């Protein structure tokens, strides 16, 4: 069943740059889909369109259930925490903005911090956290409202490989537990294969969907999958699709 | 704060004072040209009866001007940040007020205000409010655009965004402006009094300096000067402490090297 889709969407910025040209994409309920592409292919713009943070120049964004629109989490490339607020206050922000009482939102924020492995870090200030931990706080903030759709914009691109692998593992676990739908933007072939059920490959100038690849490996995927021959084969396939997209 | 940071300037200060006293004595410089620090200290104590009321007047005007600068500068900055239109209409006039030398408009203000203390206050405020205004505007604008998106995403209105995002983000900038304005309010208060040039009971330290000059009471002039510097130092220290207190948890400027 479709959760949200874009139909023939184009986006031209005020400076004349054509970020997206006639993009159509359906996101199904509960799936984990990655958007893979080189920089400048409009994948971040596509995510912002889904979030309603920007309007398409042409085409439409369609929600199967209009209430889903209000139930989304967004994780940016940077942790984007408020430096003047503790971890728990950062996580509780979406609830605060929705007018939830302090005791209730702090209880839910503490739970969300626990879910991302940061139990005991409630009163810590962002500057005292490592890059990976900041990203976990950011993830907890996106999940605290129990969103239907989680949009992630190259969230782990700036992290070291060890941290990125652990966050990938934890993200998959959270996805399986919560049943949230995830759209994950990345420029990493390896990350997209490891995480997703479906990879949407995009090409640049103008940004368009160039190929789709269903990664039919079963979950749970763990460390074993990352070193398997199957994983390497999938990566090879995704790489060649990406290569075609960049050559086109 | 490390010990060296406190001790080094004190040692230097004591050495300079000793050198000053030594030169004044060795060269037998008359006190109406350059009094030694010991004589200045003695005068400070002996003339305290005259200097103290003046000190209080200057302190009061400075603090009132600073408070007015905080309130009006801060509110104007918020108003400007809420409406581009208001900012574009009013900001040029704020700049005109800032670039016009205060000594040039002080006589006008004194004529119009028709009240010495009020006119001094207006002059000091005029000098002090601009750094707070321009810094706070800069701060209100320097908000992480992703955080703005996030607030938008979760349906925060203008008011919520102002209170929970723009104001905290602007705080370090505001405090930086406040520290500059603290010094400027004092300068404004002193300069305005020089221009006003009025004596009487309600006169501040600037008038004491003028008066001492007329009467060739140079040691008293130095004593008044010491008091003005002391006010400036105390204001700076208090505002720095306030800034540290508010920012030490999170802002880079207040970090102590570790971490």
Print the SS3 string covering A225-237. Answer: HHCCHHHHHHHHH
Residue A82 and residue B151: Cβ atoms within 8 Å? no
Say what angle helices B48-82 and B84-99 make with each other, to 10 degrees. 150
Confidence band of B259 (pLDDT split at 50, 70, 90)? very low
Chain position carrying tokens 């030694």: B36
- Cβ pair A6, A50 in contact under 8 A: yes
Whose tokens are 């009971």? That residue is B201
Residue B34 in domain: no
**Over 70: is that where the pLDDT of B257 sits?**
no
Residue A168 CA to its chain's centroid (Å): 11
Residue B159 token pair: 């008011």
Residue B222 belongs to domain with CATH number = 1.10.3720.10
- Give the pLDDT of residue B258: 46
Q: What is the DSSP letter of A55?
A: -
* Domain extent for B67: 55-254
Are B136 and B189 contacting, i.e. CB atoms less than 8 angstroms apart? Answer: no
> Across chain B, what does the average pLDDT equal?
90
Note the CATH number of domain A21-71+148-248.
3.40.50.300
pLDDT for B65: 96
Q: Tell me: the pLDDT tens digits for B68-87? A: 999 999 999 999 888 888 88
List, as ranges, residues 51-90 from A with C-beta within 8 Å of B: 51-53, 70, 72, 74, 76, 78, 80, 82-85
The verdict on residue B50 lying in a domain is: no
Domain-embedded: residue B46: no
Task: Give the pLDDT of residue A115.
Answer: 93
Q: Sketch the domain layout of chain A as residue ranges.
A: 21-71+148-248, 81-146
Closest partner CB to A82 (pick from B154, B155, B168): B168
pLDDT band of residue B1 (cuts 50, 70, 90) is: low
Whether the bond into A17 is cis, omega within 30 of 0: no
Helices (H), chain A: 43-51, 87-97, 102-115, 131-143, 161-178, 189-195, 223-226, 229-247
In a domain, B25, yes or no: no
Yes or no, beta carbons of A80 and B154 under 8 Å apart: no
Cβ neighbours of residue B36 under 8 Å, at least 6 residues apart? B20, B21, B24, B25
The whole-number pLDDT of residue B206 equals 92
Q: Which of B146, B150, B249 lies at the smallest CB-CB distance from A125?
A: B249
Query: Residue A207 carries which DSSP code?
Result: B
Residue B186, pLDDT > 80, answer yes
The total number of residues written for chain B in this structure: 259
Q: For chain B, how many structural domains are there in total?
A: 1
Element holding A32 (H helix, E strand): strand A32-36
- H or E segment and range at residue B247: helix B218-247
Per-residue pLDDT of chain A (248 residues; tens, 9 = 90+): 889 999 999 999 989 888 999 999 999 999 999 999 998 889 999 999 999 999 999 999 998 877 767 789 999 999 999 999 999 999 999 999 998 999 999 999 999 999 999 999 999 999 999 999 999 999 999 999 999 999 999 999 999 999 999 999 999 999 999 999 999 999 999 999 999 999 999 998 889 999 999 999 998 898 889 999 999 999 999 999 999 998 87
Residue B193 has pLDDT above 70, yes or no: yes
Region label for A99, one of left (φ > 0), alpha (ψ between -120 and 50) or beta (otherwise): left
Please tell me the distance from the alpha carbon of residue A29 to that of residue A189, in angstroms, as a whole number: 23
B91 occurs within a structural domain? yes
């Amino acid at each position: 069943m479709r959760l949200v889709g874009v139909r023939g969407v184009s986006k031209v910025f005020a400076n004349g740059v054509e970020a997206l040209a006639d993009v159509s994409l359906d996101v199904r309920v509960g799936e984990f889909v990655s958007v893979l592409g080189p920089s400048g292919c409009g994948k971040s713009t596509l995510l912002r369109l889904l979030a309603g943070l920007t309007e398409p120049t042409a085409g439409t964004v369609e929600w199967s259930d209009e209430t889903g629109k209000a139930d989304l989490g967004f994780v940016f490339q940077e942790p984007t925490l408020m430096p003047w607020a503790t971890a728990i206050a950062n996580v509780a922000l979406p609830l605060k903005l929705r007018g939830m009482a302090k005791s209730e939102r702090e209880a839910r924020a503490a739970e969300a911090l626990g879910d991302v492995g940061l139990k005991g870090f409630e009163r810590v200030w962002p500057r005292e956290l490592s890059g990976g931990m900041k990203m976990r706080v950011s993830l907890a903030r996106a999940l605290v409202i129990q969103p239907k759709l989680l949009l992630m914009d190259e969230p782990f691109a700036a992290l070291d490989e060890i941290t990125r692998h652990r966050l990938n593992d934890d993200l998959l676990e959270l996805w399986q537990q919560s049943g949230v739908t995830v759209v994950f933007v990345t420029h990493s072939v390896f990350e997209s294969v490891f995480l997703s059920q479906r990879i949407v490959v995009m090409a640049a100038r103008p940004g368009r969907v160039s190929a789709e690849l269903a990664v039919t490996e079963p979950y749970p995927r763990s460390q074993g999958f990352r070193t398997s021959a199957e994983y390497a084969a999938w990566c090879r396939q995704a790489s060649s699709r990406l290569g075609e997209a960049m050559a086109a | 704060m490390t010990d060296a940071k406190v001790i080094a300037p004190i040692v230097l200060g004591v050495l300079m004072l000793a050198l000053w006293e030594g030169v004044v004595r060795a060269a037998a410089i008359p006190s109406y040209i350059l009094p030694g620090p010991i004589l200045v200290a003695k005068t400070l104590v002996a003339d305290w009866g005259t200097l103290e009321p003046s000190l209080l007047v200057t302190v009061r005007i400075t603090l009132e001007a600073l408070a007015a600068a905080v309130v009006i500068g801060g509110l104007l900055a918020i108003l400007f940040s809420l409406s581009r239109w208001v900012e574009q209409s009013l900001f040029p006039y704020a700049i005109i007020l800032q670039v016009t030398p205060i000594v040039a408009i002080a006589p006008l203000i004194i004529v119009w205000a028709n009240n010495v203390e009020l006119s001094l206050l207006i002059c000091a405020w005029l000098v002090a409010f601009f750094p707070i205004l321009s810094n706070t505007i800069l701060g209100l604008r320097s908000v992480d655009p992703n955080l703005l998106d996030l607030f938008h995403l979760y349906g925060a209105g203008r008011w919520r965004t102002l209170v929970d995002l723009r104001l905290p983000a602007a705080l370090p900038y505001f405090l930086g402006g406040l520290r500059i304005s603290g010094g400027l309010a004092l300068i404004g208060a002193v300069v305005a009094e020089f221009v006003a040039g009025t004596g009487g009971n309600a006169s501040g330290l600037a008038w004491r300096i003028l008066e001492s000059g007329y009467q060739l009471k140079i040691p008293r002039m130095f004593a008044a000067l010491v008091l003005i510097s002391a006010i400036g130092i105390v204001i700076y220290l208090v505002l720095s402490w306030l800034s540290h207190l508010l920012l030490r948890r999170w802002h880079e400027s207040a970090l102590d090297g570790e971490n």
